[in-house]
């Protein structure tokens, strides 16, 4: 594979991962915290309505998990395309 094709494949994989992470981020922050809060408030989590919980705490937990997921997957992509910093 030529360097140009390898570079294009690397960026395609990187942008694909970034797109997935941003979609999850948007769904959790805007969707669960704002758009679907009314529907989610019918479910209780720890005594609090689920929509409120996502807006206040749940989204933070999801964001932290997303950070670790992104770092792990980027490490795998970097190793796959031999651009890692080991």
Residue 70's pLDDT band, with cuts at 50, 70 and 90, is very high
Contact in structure between 68 and 24 (CB atoms under 8 Å)? no
Query: Taking the domains of the chain in order of start, what are their residue ranges?
Result: 3-80
For residue 83, the SS3 value is coil
The predicted pLDDT at position 2 comes to: 64
The C-alpha atoms of residue 10 and residue 82 are separated, in whole angstroms, by 10
pTM of the model: 0.80
User: Which tens digit of pLDDT belongs to each residue from 19-65?
Assistant: 999 999 999 888 888 888 888 899 998 888 988 888 888 889 999 99
Asked if 44 and 74 count as a contact pair (C-beta separation under 8 A), the reply is no
Q: Where are the beta strands (DSSP E) in 1-86?
A: 44-45, 48-49
Can you give 65-76 as a three-state secondary structure string?
HHHHHHHHHHHH
Task: Please check the confidence at residue 1 and state whether its pLDDT lies above 70.
Answer: no
What average pLDDT does this structure show over 14-19? 97
More confident residue, 61 or 5: 61
């Amino acid at each position: 594979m030529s360097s140009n094709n390898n570079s294009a494949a690397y960026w395609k994989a990187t942008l694909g991962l970034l797109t997935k992470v941003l979609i999850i981020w948007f769904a959790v922050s805007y969707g669960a915290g704002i758009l679907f809060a009314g529907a989610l408030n019918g479910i209780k989590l720890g005594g609090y309505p689920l929509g409120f919980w996502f807006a206040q705490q749940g989204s933070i937990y999801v964001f932290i998990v997303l950070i670790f997921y992104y770092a792990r997957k980027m490490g795998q992509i970097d190793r796959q395309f031999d651009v890692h910093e080991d």
